[in-house]
Amino acid sequence: ELLYMKEFDSMDQFKAELIEYLDYYNNRRIKAKLKGLPPAVHRKQALEVS
């Protein structure tokens, strides 16, 4: 998704944006399907229950 959303001036800029995007996608993005939790928090809770 990120690659098609914008143009990058350099590979370093792309890498920095990718790291930020992955952090958002895995740690801050809230999903209704996961009871309003980000995916990383949901996984952690699921592992604690097991």
Tokens of 31: 């999903």
Q: Could you read off the pLDDT of 6-46 as tens digits, one per residue?
A: 899 999 999 999 999 999 888 888 888 888 888 888 888 88
22 located within any domain: yes
Q: What angle do CA 17, 19, 20 make, to 5 degrees?
A: 65
4 located within any domain: no
Containing domain of residue 15, as a range? 10-49
pTM: 0.67
1 located within any domain: no
Alpha carbon distance 17, 29 (integer Å): 16
Q: What pLDDT is recorded for position 50?
A: 66
How many domains would you assign to the chain? Answer: 1
